[in-house]
């Protein structure tokens, strides 16, 4: 099987139960508290949703190439900090662009998702937390933070 076939199969398996009904952005907003220890949502220097800086800014994540957001907030100044693993950067180089569906699949099993996408059993992202419930809702919430 090709890498893209494996990734599509994995995405289908992970999201089948979640996407029977589309994610609910209002529920996602309530569940997003799970994400703020690592992620903020920042638009042009304005903090829309306070959060940590160990993960990438999630403003505009839908439509972004994986492993390419290097503009993290540190206090009041923005600093380029490359917090991605080589595998996440490689996933972006090999065509991973974030969508609502694949964000939900990734959030449900980050390690499994990246391993399937790259067809590499040793691949690892920095995120290892699995969102057993609500991943589709959080993904739907993140779509509300997209550039106009």
Burial 42-54, CB ≥16 within 10 A → b, else e: beeeeeebebebe
Helix (H) / strand (E) element for 42: namely strand 41-43
More confident residue, 84 or 59: 59
* CA–CA distance, 124 with 126 (Å, rounded to integer): 7
Under 8 Å between Cβ of 1 and 17: no
Model pLDDT for residues 95-126, shown as the tens digit of each residue = 999 999 999 999 999 999 999 999 999 999 98
Both tokens assigned to 21: 């009904």
**In the predicted model, what is the mean pLDDT of residues 75-86?**
58
Helix (H) / strand (E) element for 137: namely helix 135-143
Q: Which domains does the chain have, with CATH numbers?
A: 3-143 (1.10.760.10)
Model pLDDT for residues 15-48, shown as the tens digit of each residue = 444 444 489 999 999 999 999 998 999 998 899 9
Share of the chain above pLDDT 70, in %: 76
pLDDT of amino acid 33: 93
Nearest Cα to Cα of residue 74 among 101, 47, 99: 47
Q: Which single residue is written with the structure tokens 């609910």?
A: 24
């Amino acid at each position: 099987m090709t890498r893209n076939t494996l990734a599509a199969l994995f995405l289908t398996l992970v999201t089948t139960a979640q996407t029977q009904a589309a994610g609910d952005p209002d529920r996602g907003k309530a569940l997003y508290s799970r994400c703020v220890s690592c992620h903020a949502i920042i638009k042009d220097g304005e903090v829309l949703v306070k959060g940590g800086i160990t993960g990438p800014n999630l403003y505009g994540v839908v439509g972004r190439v994986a492993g390419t957001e290097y503009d993290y907030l540190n206090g009041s100044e923005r600093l380029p900090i490359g917090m991605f693993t080589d595998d996440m950067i490689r996933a972006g180089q090999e065509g991973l662009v974030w969508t609502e569906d694949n964000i939900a699949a990734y959030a449900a099993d980050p390690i499994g998702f990246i391993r399937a996408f790259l067809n590499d059993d040793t691949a690892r992202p920095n995120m290892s937390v699995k969102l057993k419930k609500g991943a589709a809702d959080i993904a739907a919430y993140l779509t509300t933070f997209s550039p106009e």
